[in-house]
Structure 1
């Protein structure tokens, strides 16, 4: 038998709840991380990290973890892990926790929806896409290479 797992990190409560839920699923299924890795297609290290509570795993990892525990066809189990993941992600991102959706009864057409969304973005509370890479940069041209005139017009000198 391997070493006992370290206690779940509850410094961020939602992350801790997700980790506890994942561990409970694995314990209930009675599988090791090695078996779970074979069932889920993920490495045991990735699965251990997902259940540590130190980080929020990718959603696909959390779902594969639950499916690997034999809950693949159980939509309620998948819904539960998705909701716990969402709460942990919101907690991790911080500013998303302050967002609230506009009240549906106040949105009567596309223009109202647009104004409501702009108001949220204008207040500095706009939704951030997960994993936003920031502004894209064009790679520099390799030494001595320039684009031809036809491509230069469309893409710039390099």
Structure 2
């Protein structure tokens, strides 16, 4: 089956309780409260739904944001990046522990702050371009919106 994914913006609206944003990338959600967890796992369409999810991850880079949001992926950010005083110019995905690092123009030091990767992407959507970095790789750019250069390890 050939699937065509047309990338666009996330659909964002405030949640009814005004405690967050409802983000949707692929239209309306399928399923709902009418199925129990056991019924959903046994449903005949489950293999197809996983196939759709796998293909969306492979063809629509916005799905990587959703995956990190669902997993609540942590990242360490320099204080300047965390406080939004500097843009992210270096993204690293550590080989040993899998932690993500976001670094700006200041050197990384002991004052790093822990945050969620999805929140950093909310502030700088251009980070979506490097969310598929395998462990042990990093990506660097000279300015926000500039092209990312991927490499093994971290730059000297």
Q: Which has the higher strand share?
A: 2
Query: TM bucket by the smaller chain?
Result: under 0.3
TM-score scaled by structure 2?
Answer: 0.26
- Select the structure of larger CA radius of gyration: 1
Flag the structure with higher helix content: 1
